[in-house]
Amino acid sequence: MRVTANYSDITRLVAASVQHALDAYLDVLGLREDDRPDDEPPSPGFRI
């Protein structure tokens, strides 16, 4: 089976990956604006 992806698919995948990594990095640094309710635990994200 052959899998094909066009430029737009690849661009969306890369953009989503970069956004996820940046959000996780800012979470670790504590710089991201926190829009979660106070009683909700933080997401696991990446561990350093």
| pLDDT, tens only, 6-38 | 888 899 999 999 999 998 888 888 776 655 555
pLDDT at 30: 78
Span 37-46, average pLDDT: 60
pLDDT at 15: 93
pLDDT at 38: 58
pLDDT at 28: 84
pTM > 0.85 = no
Q: Tokens 């009683």 belong to which residue? A: 39
Which residues, 6 or more positions from 16, have their beta carbon under 8 angstroms from its beta carbon?
none
Which residues, 6 or more positions from 24, have their beta carbon under 8 angstroms from its beta carbon?
45, 46
Q: Which is it for the CA torsion 13, 15, 17, 20, positive or negative?
A: negative
Q: Provide the b/e sequence for 35-46 (b: ≥16 CB within 10 Å).
A: eeeeeeeeeeee
